[in-house]
Structure 1
Amino acid sequence: MFHHILVPTDGSPLSGMAIEKSVALAKSLGARITFLTAVEPFHIWTDNANQLAYTREEYERISKESAGGYLDSAVAAAEAAGVAVGRVQVETDEPYRAIIDAAVERGCDLVAMASHGRRGVAALVIGSETQKVLTHSAIPVLVYR
């Protein structure tokens, strides 16, 4: 069935549930799993409150640390379940494209993701990004709600 699952994460509670369910799915299938976070680059002209609140250097440090923490937690969950795991952290204005590209580049045969996430310091996956992945991906997508 599925051998390699890509799971985008943003640290939101729904994303955490998607991680939990995806790890269980991977374990039951004997599949490996790769977790991905996508950090929004700093923009001078933005409506992102976190980018307005911090200098470029502070924003970049905080957002990368936050994204790394999300990945650390996800990887720990997979390792605890005995699932082979990898991690990817990218900087992009188009998270949906990064998700699809990572799945293709890593040979994933399933993308499993939350139906929506949140905006914030990490500026990761949001509902519209999930919709874009569903629309543009040639790889099957499992959406957790």
Structure 2
Amino acid sequence: MEAKQTKPQSPAFRHILLPVDGSPASARALKQGVELAAGIGARITGLHVLPEFHVFAYQPDKLEDVRLRYESECEQRARRFLAEVEQAASAAGVPCDTVYLSGDQPWECILKQAAQRQCDLIAMASHGYRGVKALLLGSECSKVLAHSTVPVLILR
């Protein structure tokens, strides 16, 4: 009896969005996300969302230098976080691109980028906040889960 040959099936996920924030949990999720992408032949997009600068002052124009310095420092931090994504992807032979943008609601930025870049999986860290801390800090992970139209892999 002749063995039947089967064609390998294409991976269910071809493009993974990996939001990063520089935290230890995010670093672990980055490693796991890159390993997953390498294992299934997917590509990744690393994303960092910069917090918006808000000023509540009588004369906010006098704070322009502060705003520019804040934005510059946030962009430098984003580049550093995204360089880690690029290095991990390169070491694993995974195609990668990166993007950073500003937004008050990181979860909305994550979902918009997933849609714009046609990602079919979002893999992100959960910081594990509970109780009052979760209430005060919010959970971007929970919001992404609640509103995403693509699968979300939570990495702890």
Fold similarity call, TM over 0.5: yes
Q: 2-side partners of 1:109 and 1:62: how far apart?
A: 31
Which one has the largest radius of gyration? 2
Aligned counterparts of 1:80 and 1:144: Cα–Cα separation in 2? 20
Instruction: Give the alignment of 1:81-120 within 5 angstroms.
Output: 81-116=92-127
1:15-30 pair list within 5 angstroms: 15-30=26-41
2-structure distance, mates of 1:105, 1:55? 32
Partner-residue secondary structure (3-state), 1:107? coil
CA 1:41–1:111: 2 relative to 1, 3 Å:
same
- Partner of 2:140 in structure 1? 129
Rounded to whole Å, the distance in 2 between the matches of 1:139 and 1:84 is 20
Q: How far apart, in 1, do the equivalents of 2:120 and 2:110 lie?
A: 12
Of the candidates 38, 45, 58, which is equivalent to residue 49 of structure 2? 38
Identity of aligned residues (%): 46
Q: TM-score, normalised by structure 2?
A: 0.79
Q: Give the superposed CA RMSD.
A: 1.9
Aligned partner of 2:14 in structure 1 is 3
Q: Name the structure 2 match of 1:49.
A: none
Q: Which amino acid aligns with 2:96?
A: V
Aligned length, in residue pairs = 131
Runs of 4+ in structure 1 off by over 2 angstroms are none
Show the counterpart of 1:66: 77
Q: In structure 2, what is the equivalent of residue 139 of structure 1? A: 150
In the superposition, relative to structure 1, how do residues 12 and 93 fare at CA in structure 2: closer, same or farther (>3 Å)? same
By how many angstroms is 1:116 displaced? 2.4
Q: Give the gaps of 5 or more residues in structure 1.
A: 47-53, 118-125
User: Which residue type is aligned with residue 33 of structure 2?
Assistant: S
- Answer yes or no: is the 8 Å Cα contact 1:116–1:127 preserved in 2: no
